[in-house]
Each structure stands twice: as C-alpha cells, then as structure tokens.
Structure 1
C-alpha cells in the first residue's frame, strides 16, 4: 500500500470487532489495531469482554512482552499466583517468563470491560498455559492474513524423540 492510501488514524468506535474465544466463559470481541495500522514490530489489539467472561486462558509468553491498558470497566488480573483488582485507567504488565508471569484478565464488573493489549511482535513465540498443562508454538501470521505459518498446541508428555521418524541409517 502506498503512503497516499495509508490512513494512520483509527477511531476505536469505528473498528470492526471479531468474535473470538466463544466457548463457555471465554468470549471476547477484538479489533487487531496493529494490523489495521500496518505495524510490523508492535502488536496491539482492542478487546471487549462482557461481565463474567474472560478473553483467554491463564497464559505466559516466552517470546513476547504484553502491556494491557484498561480503558473502562473493572476486573480481576490474575498474575502468577496473585489476583489484582483493576479498573479503567490501570496499566498492567505481562513480561515474558515462566508460570510465575502467567496472566489472565477476567471481567468481574457489571459493564463491558474494554482494554488495549500492546505486545512486542516476535517472529516465533511459545505460550505456556499453566492451568491446563499445555503449550503453543507459533510463528508470525502470513502478512495480511490471520493464518500462522506454524501453530502447534500440545503437552510436554506427548513430546517425540528428536530423531523420531528420521532415517538414521540403522540397518537392523
């Protein structure tokens, strides 16, 4: 896209929201602000979560820092083994790390929780989910799409041997 056709301004109230995480108490509506603004190294999404819901499981990234800016509403911010009450105007950190840095934002209020999530954009990320014992390995989506080049969700106990399936030249 040429600069003449590029709009560097997005009014959040005009952003089309996609329904995501629509099972049980996992439900959110998101606009991928970073993609809309064609940012290449900074991720940003705008998220709305109804009362009693959460956008995602308790998780921690190993390749991307995240920062959440609460615009309105209130909730519980699970971080590691602690829970913090948060509301509009609060800024939350979620640095890379292990389970002690796992985080999840839950709408405990009576109105829609609205927030921005900023992230560094790693080409490869590993995301760990301590509550369920799973992990995800993913690569950055193909430019202009939501499709990852590689995305795998599994558990450590299902790990394969390094040479599994390889022709190792064993003539037994």
Structure 2
C-alpha cells in the first residue's frame, strides 16, 4: 500500500470538485477508487442539485456501472423508461446499446447523493443518444488518463480503405 492508499475511505472526508455545464448539468463529485488501491474498479461519490443531472444520457459498450442512492430523490432514465429512485435503491447500467443508455436526474428538493461504481475498461465506446455523439477512448495499463480520446458524431461515408495508398 502506498502512502496515498487507504483501506477505508469516507466520502464526507474527501474534497468534492464542483462543476457546471450549461443550465442542466451540475454536480459536486469525486473519484476515489485509486485511494483504495483499486485499479480495475472506479468508485465515485456525487451530489447533484435539484433539477440537475451529473452527466448526459449515455450508454457504454464495454464497461458497466452501478449506482447506490444514499440521499434525495430522482429519476433514473434507463433506455426508453423513467424510474423514480430514492435512498437505498441500487441501479444497474450494463454494457449494451441504446437500450442501456442511462442517467440520473435530481427531481427532488434536496441534493441527490449517490455512489457510482464502474468497471474500468482499457477500451471503451460510449454513445450519447440525445446528441448523436459517440466517444472512443483507450487507456494504457496502469494509466488513469486516456491515451486516445475522441468524441464525434455519426460515422462518415468513408470505407475502411478510403485514403490508403494505392486507392
């Protein structure tokens, strides 16, 4: 165990990073799996204000996510459905296509507080159905930051051989 690693972490003792994007996305959150010495499991804690969401509606093709609602009330948008959630609810987001797209929206009057747990895949593709974007990301083993990160929209009409020498 390194000096930064601990066997136990309590999110109330961690410094949260507050951020806001546009009028709908806002959160105070922190990732802390590395503090526990975890390399293949990501763990985070988030607090989302009323009327906001902590991330866009998205789905993963490789990684899986799990959310545990600690306090507050919200709506779990999952695929084409919406589910009311509250303290003690455990939400799954398996890898898959747009039928597993998901995000949490705070529909209550107090902050929505939750834990997020996810697999850390070396390579990931995410889709964002509301905006038509996709994300392609790879990580080198042992590195926290992406070594390749691309966000784009629907694929072009180019085929596999387009632009290659001799074509």
TM-score by length of 1: 0.88
Aligned to 2:80: 81
Equivalent residue for 2:147, pick from 131, 146, 149: 149
User: What stretches of structure 1 of length at least 5 have no aligned partner?
Assistant: none
Per-residue deviation, residues 33-71 of structure 1 (Å, max 9, x unmatched): 212223111111111100010011111100101110001
For the pair 1:136 / 2:135, whether they are aligned, the reply is: yes
* Helix, strand or coil at the partner of 1:128: strand
Following superposition, which runs of at least 4 residues in structure 1 exceed 6 angstroms of deviation?
none
Does the 8 A contact of 2:122 with 2:141 survive in 1? no
User: What stretches of structure 2 of length at least 5 have no aligned partner?
Assistant: none
Per-residue deviation, residues 5-24 of structure 1 (Å, max 9, x unmatched): 33222121111111245322
TM-score by length of 2: 0.90
Per-residue deviation, residues 115-161 of structure 1 (Å, max 9, x unmatched): 0111111100100111111110112378565x311111111243643
Higher-Rg structure is 1
* Helix, strand or coil at the partner of 2:42: strand
Q: Give the CA RMSD over aligned residues.
A: 1.9
Does the 8 A contact of 1:52 with 1:106 survive in 2? yes
